[in-house]
Amino acid sequence: MGGWAAATWRLAGCSGRGVLRGAARRRGSSLRGGGERAASLSELLQSSVGDEESGEGEAAAGERRERRSPREGAVLLFPGQGSQFVGMGRGLLRYPGVRDMYRLAEKVLGYDLLSLCLEGPRAELDRTRHCQPAVFVASLAAVEKLNHLQPKVVESCVAAAGYSVGEFAALVFAGAMDFAEALYAVKVRAEAMQVAAEAVPSGMLSVIGGREANYRYACLEARRHCESLGIDNPVCVVSNYLFPDSRALEFLQKNAPKFSFTRTKMLPVSGAFHTRLMEPAVEPLAEVLKSIEIQKPLICVYSNVDGKKYMHSKHIQKLLVKQVVSPVMWEQTMHSVYQRKQGMEFPYTYEVGPGKQLGAVLRKCNLKAWRQYSHVDVTEEEEAAET
């Protein structure tokens, strides 16, 4: 099975020249775990390379890209941990290549991911070591569905972003990483984060506050409270910047009125992710990323660490490691993705994978961009409605 060929769908984007050549260069890459690339992806690759070899000049292609209306482009958003649910993926199995993806995933992971996604039990699927690979594969399988139903959307994609582990899926889609190698890196990341979470009791709290809410002060007060209880070096920090007036914190439910928090909710995760409590996971992920091939994305992909575009392979390698112990700058990422001159149209946006959380966040960040939002679902019920 060759490298994940979403890269071959790139006909335009930030990388401009060399997009089709980039698709060709990955053609012979090998995947950990064996198998053959899905036929639909091979056909797309042949088609893309064929277009390049047919004599269409780069200048003409560049002119067409320049003339393209922003509305004709698309942005894909890939969800992260917490969006998983038992039954996800059932509605995707009819699409070309999806079963092959799950068969390859079983070889890479060493367990039957598809059965776990379809049948549970939920407690096992929700474990960090399982849910991160599950969301990664389900999201890329959702891309297969999108490509089958609306191939022009995939062809016209100009940017991608992924939330936490979703960033790996975005990079695979953009041709920067091989599917199986990226899945192996996700496996190592998830297992290391599970170990780190179990080493120190911790958790995450979703908080929505008014404009007067001071989150950093609230965290400081929470740490002081822990120190008064005799806890050494307590951790309470902002770990996810989602949208205006929303943050993920610890400790603060009982004192919500004091800090002008209007709503708090404990998140169903096993640890305080994207904080220094995840430092034990840094070295294992760094080592595995050194061992796999990473290339410059063929479209714009935005980093969780700073909300900016990835520039080159070393940049990706460095920031994927840093992301584990850094807050997710999702609000800033959304501003970067949708920043444009006044009056310019917003691109169509598709959330690919389980859940609609990123769409809800987009609505809070940018209502005009959200009006062009759609969700590519992974459920059986949606498939039944379409037939």
Q: What are phi and psi of 110, to 5 degrees?
A: 85, 10
Q: Is 78 among the domain residues?
A: yes
Say yes or no: 232 and 361 in one domain: no
Residue 46: predicted pLDDT: 36
Say yes or no: 170 and 121 in one domain: yes
Residue 356: predicted pLDDT: 93
Please identify, among 217, 248, 267, the residue that sits at the C-terminal boundary of a domain.
267
Average the pLDDT over 158-175 and give the result. 96
Task: Determine the structural domain holding residue 312 and report its residue range.
Answer: 70-199+274-376
Query: What CA dihedral angle connects 261, 262, 265 and 267, to 10 degrees?
Result: -60
Share of the chain above pLDDT 90, in %: 50
| Predicted confidence (pLDDT) per residue in 30-71, tens digit | 232 333 333 333 333 333 333 433 444 444 444 434 444 556
Say yes or no: 224 and 330 in one domain: no
* pLDDT of 21 higher than 60: no
Q: How many domains, in total, are found in the chain?
A: 2
Q: Is 260 among the domain residues?
A: yes
Average the pLDDT over 278-292 and give the result. 92
CA distance 226 to 119: 40
Q: Is 229 among the domain residues?
A: yes
Q: List beta partners, residue 374.
A: 350
Residue 221 sits in a domain whose CATH number is: 3.30.70.250
Please identify, among 250, 267, 284, the residue that sits at the C-terminal boundary of a domain.
267
* pLDDT of 293 higher than 80: yes
Say yes or no: 147 and 231 in one domain: no
CB atoms within 10 A of CB 311: 12
Closest of 62, 307, 76 to residue 174, by C-alpha:
76
Residue 226: predicted pLDDT: 77
* pLDDT of 308 higher than 90: yes
CA distance 50 to 69: 25
**What type of residue is 301?**
V
Residue 315 sits in a domain whose CATH number is: 3.40.366.10
CA distance 350 to 2: 26
Say yes or no: 138 and 260 in one domain: no
Say yes or no: 279 and 143 in one domain: yes
DSSP conformational letter for 76: E
CA distance 120 to 246: 31
User: Under a CB-based contact definition with an 8 Å cutoff, are residues 289 and 187 in contact?
Assistant: no
Q: Is 230 among the domain residues?
A: yes
Burial class (CB in 10 A: 0-12, 13-18, 19+), 173: buried
Q: Is 239 among the domain residues?
A: yes
Question: Is 344 or 21 the better-scoring residue by pLDDT?
Answer: 344
Which residue among the candidates 48, 274, 303, 326 is catalytic per the annotation?
274
DSSP codes of every residue in 195-248: HHHHHS----EEEEE-TT--HHHHHHHHHHHHHHTT-SS------EEEETTEEE
Say yes or no: 101 and 191 in one domain: yes
Question: Is 209 or 370 the better-scoring residue by pLDDT?
Answer: 370
| Predicted confidence (pLDDT) per residue in 77-124, tens digit | 999 988 899 999 999 999 989 999 999 999 999 999 999 999 999 999
Q: What are phi and psi of 145, to 5 degrees?
A: -60, -45
Say yes or no: 259 and 337 in one domain: no
Say yes or no: 188 and 221 in one domain: no
Say yes or no: 310 and 324 in one domain: yes
Closest of 182, 173, 88, 170 to residue 126, by C-alpha:
88
Which residue among the candidates 15, 156, 164, 246 is catalytic per the annotation?
164
Residue 261: predicted pLDDT: 62
Is 274 part of the annotated catalytic residue set?
Answer: yes
CA distance 203 to 248: 10
Residue 104: predicted pLDDT: 96
CA distances (Å), origin 51, targets 20, 45, 55, 126, 303: 9, 10, 7, 44, 31
* pLDDT of 228 higher than 90: no
User: Own/partner pairs for 186-190, CB < 8 Å, 24+ apart?
Assistant: 186/132, 186/133, 186/136, 187/108, 187/109, 187/129, 187/133, 188/284, 188/285, 188/288, 189/132, 189/165, 189/281, 189/284, 189/285, 189/288, 189/324, 190/128, 190/129, 190/130, 190/131, 190/132, 190/133, 190/165
CA distance 111 to 331: 35
Query: What CA dihedral angle connects 128, 131, 134 and 138, to 10 degrees?
Result: -130
Q: What are phi and psi of 105, to 5 degrees?
A: -60, -40
Say yes or no: 285 and 188 in one domain: yes
Q: Is 62 among the domain residues?
A: no
Largest Cα span, the chain: 73
Residue 216: predicted pLDDT: 75
Please identify, among 242, 267, 292, the residue that sits at the C-terminal boundary of a domain.
267
The mean pLDDT value of the chain amounts to: 76
* pLDDT of 187 higher than 80: yes
Closest of 339, 204, 365, 341 to residue 269, by C-alpha:
204
Q: Is 285 among the domain residues?
A: yes
User: Under a CB-based contact definition with an 8 Å cutoff, are residues 1 and 101 in contact?
Assistant: no
Average the pLDDT over 239-254 and give the result. 52
Say what the pTM is: 0.73
CB atoms within 10 A of CB 109: 21
* pLDDT of 248 higher than 60: no
Q: How many residues does the chain have?
A: 387
Is 164 part of the annotated catalytic residue set?
Answer: yes
Residue 230: predicted pLDDT: 82
pLDDT bracket for residue 385 (50, 70, 90): very low
User: Under a CB-based contact definition with an 8 Å cutoff, are residues 322 and 305 in contact?
Assistant: yes
Q: Is 2 among the domain residues?
A: no
pLDDT bracket for residue 279 (50, 70, 90): confident
Say yes or no: 93 and 163 in one domain: yes
